[in-house]
Amino acid sequence: MQWLAAISVRRPVLASVIILVFLVVGILGYTRLPVDRFPKIDFPTVSVVTRQDGATPKEIETEITDKIEEAVNTVAGIDELRSVSSEGISQVLVTFVLEKNIDVAAQEVRDRIARIIPDLPEGVDAPIIEKLDPDAAPILNLALVADRPVREITEFADKTLRRQLESVAGVGQITLLGGRLRQINVWLDPMRLRSYNLTAPDVQRALRAQNVQIPAGTVKNAASEAGFRVQGKARSVEEIGLLIVREAQGGLVRVRDVARIEDGAEEQVTVARNNGVPSVVLSIRKQSGTNTVAVVDAVNEKLVDVKKLLPAGYSVEVVRDTSTVIRTSVHAVKEHLVLGAIFAAIVVLVFLGNSRATLISALAIPTSIIAAFGVMWAEGLTLNVISLVALALAVGIVIDDAIIVVENIFRHMEEKKEDSFTASIEGPREIG
């Protein structure tokens, strides 16, 4: 890089213009750099989840998990193979070496699983094969609080609040926790089933077969075409009770004869309370590849408008915000970066004892860091803890190089009696 030092000395205006260009681009890049906690990383891990209702953990392990493990174990590049077999569900995690392309690995796993699907037990759901996505974790949890029944809160959260927030750019999925959605429950009476010689699967099959909509063809004319459907879906609790389970000698056995039908709510598997008041939590996940801080900011802006539409007695509170941790971490590293640059300049001043040399060395720090922001922006990187730590380490490298170059220039001026112009060219040339 001797030629760069020589040009900078011989053409100081050109060097100043180049530095200013880098500074302007760097400042522009800094204002547009997205902020995140960690850089975007694709972990080479594939998850295979298979469900079978009613199966015991032992049956899941022997009939499903073992077969899946044997199939995927033939894929090249596996680093670790783990599995969990619990009641009704099998989960197999395949971790590959870092050099393995995750898209290729996922496709190879799908191919192996496709071969053994005929060997799986009857009634097993199709295996769900997914790549492990770090962006799948919730970034924001909101609590919808009201002194109302949980079902009423859930209905508002599901049909109004969730739909409003799903329209925000970057929001991928919103899951309700602690809620109870509306559900039609059919409570079977074992004594009545026995008296009609029926079983629970008989009622289940009747509900599936008769509670459907069926295409009934089309009618065409010269100008238009219309489709027809047979409206077979029950529209009320009473219509569900009229569905026929079986024809008996004494007449028809309907659902209402063997069960109690209730317009109720689904079984509550999670409970959410905010300061003792019933609430429903909306767990918000971002779209893969989007920026956490930007999505959270967009959701908070939307919440300002949404809160104006809330019924009396309802409130929305933020109970968990991952962007706060990101902002705090990034701010702390920024502080360390600035303090490191200041202390480095002080050390140079103490040991060189020359304010002009200290100023030259100190200016190299912000100039190089600001220019780096422009490169990061051009490469599509984010301002995260890792990149800021790298810049903090670069401060030490920059100041070390600056000290070495400045000291060598002063050595040429003192020992070889060269003028400042010649020493500024020959000094860096010796270092290379």
Among 103, 131, 159, the domain boundary falls at 131
Q: What is the model's pLDDT at position 68? A: 92
pLDDT tens readout for residues 12-21: 788 888 888 9
Mean pLDDT of 76-104: 89
Q: Which of 187-191, 254-258, 402-406 has the lowest mean pLDDT?
A: 402-406
| pLDDT reported for residue 406 | 77
Considering the domain architecture, whether residues 171 and 309 belong to the same structural domain is answered as yes
State residue 357's pLDDT score: 73
Phi, psi of 403 (to 5 degrees): -65, -45
Q: What pLDDT shows up at residue 111?
A: 92
Same domain, 192 and 174: no
298: which 2 tokens?
A: 């967009």
Is the overall model pTM greater than 0.85, yes or no? Answer: no
Three-class SS of residue 37? coil
Point out the domain boundary residue: 313, 346, 377. 313
Ramachandran angles phi, psi of 316, nearest 5°: -120, 125
- Averaged pLDDT, 392-408: 78
As a whole number of angstroms, the distance between CA 239 and CA 256 comes to 10
Q: Say if residue 331 is in the same domain as residue 422.
A: yes
* Residue 320: inside a domain: no
Taking CA atoms, 227 is separated from 212, 216, 222, in Å, by: 17, 8, 15
Helix segments in 353-416, DSSP class H:
355-378, 385-415
| Mean pLDDT over the full length of the chain | 83
Say which residues have a Cβ less than 8 Å from residue 175's Cβ, sequence separation at least 6.
Answer: 138, 282, 283, 285
* Residue 178 pLDDT: 84
Within this chain, do residues 253 and 276 fall inside the same structural domain, yes or no? no
CATH of the domain at 153: 3.30.70.1320
* 389 is a domain residue: yes
Domain check: are 330 and 421 in the same one? yes
**Are residues 331 and 304 part of one domain?**
no
Q: How many CB atoms neighbour CB 65 within 10 A? A: 21
User: What CATH number should be reported for the domain holding residue 413?
Assistant: 1.20.1640.10
Q: Is the pLDDT of residue 234 over 80?
A: no
* Rounded Cα gap, residues 395 and 336, in angstroms: 11
When pLDDT is cut at 50, 70 and 90, the band that residue 91 belongs to is very high
Q: Is the pLDDT of residue 135 over 70?
A: no
Q: Is the pLDDT of residue 290 over 60?
A: yes
Task: Please check the confidence at residue 333 and state whether its pLDDT lies above 60.
Answer: yes
pLDDT of residue 222: 67
140 belongs to a structural domain? yes
Residue 251 lies in a domain: yes
Give the integer Cα–Cα distance in Å for 337 and 393.
9
Structure tokens given for 109: 């796993």
Question: Per the domain annotation, does 37 fall within a domain?
Answer: no
Count of all residues that appear for the chain in the document: 432
| 82 & 224 share domain | no
Asked if the model's pLDDT at residue 432 lies above 70, the reply is no
Q: What angle do CA 376, 379, 383 make, to 5 degrees?
A: 35
Least confident of 53-67, 104-118, 120-134: 120-134
Which of the listed ranges 53-67, 135-149, 235-249, 416-430 does the model predict with the highest average pLDDT?
53-67
Phi, psi dihedral angles at 34 (to 5 degrees): -70, 150
Claim to verify: residue 177 and residue 199 sit in the same structural domain: no
What's the domain range around 309?
136-181+268-313
Q: Kindly report the backbone phi and psi dihedral angles of residue 416, in degrees, each rounded to the nearest multiple of 5, phi listed first.
A: -100, 0
Domain membership of residue 57 (yes or no) is yes
Q: Which two tokens stand for residue 311?
A: 């019924």
Q: What is the rounded distance in angstroms from the CA atom of residue 61 to the CA atom of residue 58?
A: 5
| Longest CA pairwise span in the chain (Å) | 122
CATH at 202: 3.30.2090.10
| C-alpha angle 43-44-48 in degrees, rounded to nearest 5 | 110
Same domain, 298 and 240: no
Average pLDDT over every residue of 205-214: 79
CB count, 10 Å around CB of 269?
A: 8
**Domain count of the chain?**
4
Taking the C-alpha atoms of residue 59 and residue 318, their distance in angstroms, rounded to an integer, is 43
DSSP 138-200: -SEEEEEE-SS-HHHHHHHIIIIIHHHHHTSTTEEEEEEES---EEEEEEE-HHHHHHTT--H
Q: How many helices (H) and strands (E) does the chain have?
A: 16, 15
Judge whether residue 6 has pLDDT over 70: yes
pLDDT exceeds cutoff 80 at 86 = yes
Contact at 8 Å (CB) between 48 and 91?
yes
Per-residue pLDDT, averaged over 258-274, amounts to 81
Q: Per-residue pLDDT for 270 more than 70?
A: yes
pLDDT average, residue stretch 278-304: 86
pLDDT at residue number 1: 56
CA 109, CA 48: separation in Å to the nearest integer?
9
Reply yes or no on whether the pLDDT at 2 is more than 70: no
Write down the residue that tokens 């077999």 correspond to. 85
Same domain, 175 and 187: no
Looking at residue 121, the DSSP 8-state letter turns out to be P
Helices 292-306 + 322-352 axis angle, to 10:
130
- Band the pLDDT of 110: cuts 50, 70, 90: very high
Within-domain flag for 318: no
Percent of the chain with pLDDT over 90: 9
| Residue 134 pLDDT | 66
Q: For the purposes of burial, counting CB atoms within 10 Å of the CB of 119, is it exposed (0-12), middle (13-18) or buried (19 or more)?
A: exposed
pLDDT of residue 10: 76
pLDDT at 49: 92
- Residue 112 in any domain: the answer is yes
**Rounded average pLDDT over 190-219:** 82
CATH at 68? 3.30.70.1430
**197 and 250 share one domain:** yes
Distance of alpha carbon 143 from its chain centroid, rounded?
20
Give the residue from 248, 265, 282 where a domain finishes. Answer: 265
Q: Residue 337: is its pLDDT beyond 80?
A: no
232: its two tokens? 């077979």
250 and 278 assigned to the same domain: no
The per-residue pLDDT for range 138-157, each reduced to its tens digit, is 889 999 888 888 888 888 88
Pick the range with the lowest mean pLDDT from 84-98, 111-125, 142-156, 354-368.
Answer: 354-368
